[in-house]
Amino acid sequence: MKLLIKTTLYYVIASLLFFIAAGFIIVYDFNNILDQEINNLLINSEEIVTTQIVNDIPLESLNNYEQVIEKTNSKAFLDKPCFKDTTRYDIIDDNFHKYRMLRVTRRIGNNYYDISIFRSLIQPNTLVKQVLLSLFSVFLGLLAFLIVSNLLISRKVWLPFKETLRTLNNYELGSTSPILLNKTSTQEFNQLNDIILAMTAKIKYDYINLKEFTENVAHEIQTPLAIIRRRCEKLLQQNDLNNDQTKSIMAIYNNCLRLSKVNKGLTLLTKIESGAYQVEKNVNLTQILISQIAHFQEMISLKNLTLNQEVKHEILHDINPELVVVLFSNFIKNAINHNNAGGHIEISTKAGEIGFYNTAKNGPINPELFQRFKKSESNSLGLGLSIITKICRLHNIKLSYEYVNDTHKFRLLF
């Protein structure tokens, strides 16, 4: 969820809770005030009635729908005003309505009068409703204002952050252009940018160091290897070598070659990992595949393997062309080397898919083989599949492997 939506949502929920609580408090307070007001009104009316009785105004003219006065003998309510909520039948709209009544007994002269005053609660209730309604609309307006202002303010405030994100997203560790983060007026973002700058500088420094180190190691190993190789070749030129000597020299020579190849493979892996191979847009994989198949055609026929190729679909992908060559040659080499005598190789393309299938002798590949230096036979280097895996992983190519009917099935999905 986007930060802006998230904060707004929390904002709305918090505001709603607050508004509900505020609504309850306001209604409660308002009711209290109205009650007080009505009670005062009732007391007032009662005082007027009492005064009127004292002034000998006949009871008949005082009695009406809202006040009932009658002589009584009971002294239960004598000078003890009592408030009560009640419902009364209203003849006008044929309905019961809420009323508040005050009942009190007064002694005037020698007579006791039971005075009941009624006040309808319809008006106060509609008033509360009205107030609530207007309050609600004010709240609603406030909420809308809050949301909009929050969106606008957040958008503005978080702008530098978004810019930082965008810059980081476009940043490539291997690239020479430094990371550029603008100063902002927000302290925290400045702090964040400073930390990012310091961190990337450190990472870049380590990365360059590591890169230089691997390059140096590879370089330093290459010259001695060249010398060993040359000296072996020189020894082999002599005519008077006996069998044992030849064997020993050939062993040194072959292991030297092997070391060179391991070195090359590892250097290649490091280079792929470090992103030294620049990605090019829309590389035509089909063309490269066709030329690689042609390159290995001879080896395939010399090994008495049959090749079935169905390479027609044009597949374009963003990748480095040299790595594509490495990728395809590794697949084809594996298909040749790990095949049985008189076996079969099939290379086919579909839309967004390249498949390499070959008959096999030793059952399915152990998943561990996809890692470095795991190998099935002693004469291979054990780097091929890890190079394949690495290239695929770094270039958004899905690599699938199955073993069906004594056949290795590698599929590249784009």
Partner 1 sequence: MKLLIIEDESELLEDLMDFFKKDHFLCESATTVAEAQEKIYMYNYDAIILDIGLPDGSGLEVLKSLRTVDNNAGVLILSAYDAIEDKVSGLNLGADDYLAKPFDYNELNARIKSIIRRKHFKGSNMVVFDTISINTDSQEVHINQKLIDLTQKEYQLLIFFISNENRVITKESIVEHLWGDNTDSFDSFDFIYTHIKNLRKKIIKSGDKDYLKTVYGIGYKFQKE
Q: Which stretch binds partner 1 (CB under 8 A): 72-80, 115-123, 136-144, 229-237?
A: 229-237
Angle at 171 between CA 167 and CA 173, to 5 degrees: 150
Asked if 379 touches partner 1 (CB under 8 A), the answer is yes
The residue whose two tokens read 């009941």 is 116
- Binding piece for partner 1, criterion CB under 8 A, among 72-80, 93-101, 175-183, 223-231: 223-231
Taking the complex as a whole, the smallest distance from the CB of residue 279 to partner 1 amounts, in Å, to 14
Give the residue among 330, 254, 325 at the shortest CA–CA distance from 290: 325
What is the distance between the terminal CA atoms of the chain, rounded to a whole angstrom?
29
The piece of 97-105, 129-137, 177-185, 296-304 that touches partner 1 (CB under 8 A) is: 296-304
Give every CB contact of residue 343 below 8 A, 6+ residues apart in sequence.
305, 306, 358, 359, 360
For the CB of residue 396, give the shortest distance to partner 1 in the complex, in Å.
22
What is the rounded distance in angstroms from the CA atom of residue 368 to the CA atom of residue 386? 10
Among 230, 350, 393, 398, the residue binding partner 1 under the rule CB under 8 A is: 230
Rounded distance between C-alpha atoms, residue 114 and residue 105, angstroms: 4
Residue 387 CB, nearest distance to partner 1 (Å)?
11
Binding region for partner 1 (CB under 8 A) out of 57-65, 101-109, 213-221, 368-376? 213-221
What is the closest distance, in whole angstroms, from the C-beta atom of residue 8 to partner 1 in the complex?
Answer: 50
Q: For residues 31 and 40, what is the distance between their CA atoms, to the nearest angstrom?
A: 14
Q: Which is nearer to partner 1, 212 or 314 (CB)?
A: 212
How far, in Å, CA of 60 to CA of 72, rounded? Answer: 15
Site string for partner 1, 264-293 (x = CB under 8 A): xx-xx-xx----xx----------------
Report angle CA 266, 268, 274 to the nearest 5 degrees: 105
- Cα 279 off chain centre by: 27
In degrees, rounded to 5, the angle at the alpha carbon of residue 112 between the alpha carbons of residues 52 and 90 is 65
Q: Is 381 in the site for partner 1 (CB under 8 A)?
A: yes
**Subset of 236-255 contacting partner 1 (CB under 8 A):** 236-237, 243, 246-247, 250, 253-254
CA 259 to chain centre: 46
210 binds partner 1 (CB under 8 A): no
Q: How far is the CB of 231 from partner 1 (least distance, A)?
A: 7
Q: If binding is defined by CB under 8 A, does position 343 make contact with partner 1? A: no
Give the tokens for residue 378: 């002693």
Residue choice 1, 298, 341, 405 for contact with partner 1 (CB under 8 A) = 298
SS3 300: helix
HEC letters along 13-59: HHHHHHHHHHHHHHHHHHHHHHHHHHHHHHHHHHHHHHHHHHCCCCH
Output 70 or 233, the one with its CB closest to partner 1.
233
What ranges make up the beta strands (E) of 72-136? 82-90, 95-108, 111-120
DSSP state of 181: -
Residue selected from 99, 296, 331, 410 as contacting partner 1 according to rule CB under 8 A: 296
Positions 29 through 68 that interact with partner 1 (CB under 8 A): none
Binds partner 1 by CB under 8 A, chosen from 227, 352, 398, 402: 227
- The residue ranges that bind partner 1 (CB under 8 A) are 214-215, 218-219, 222-223, 225-227, 229-231, 233-234, 236-237, 243, 246-247, 250, 253-254, 256-257, 260-261, 263-265, 267-268, 270-271, 276-277, 295-296, 298-299, 302-303, 322, 329, 333, 336-337, 379-381, 384
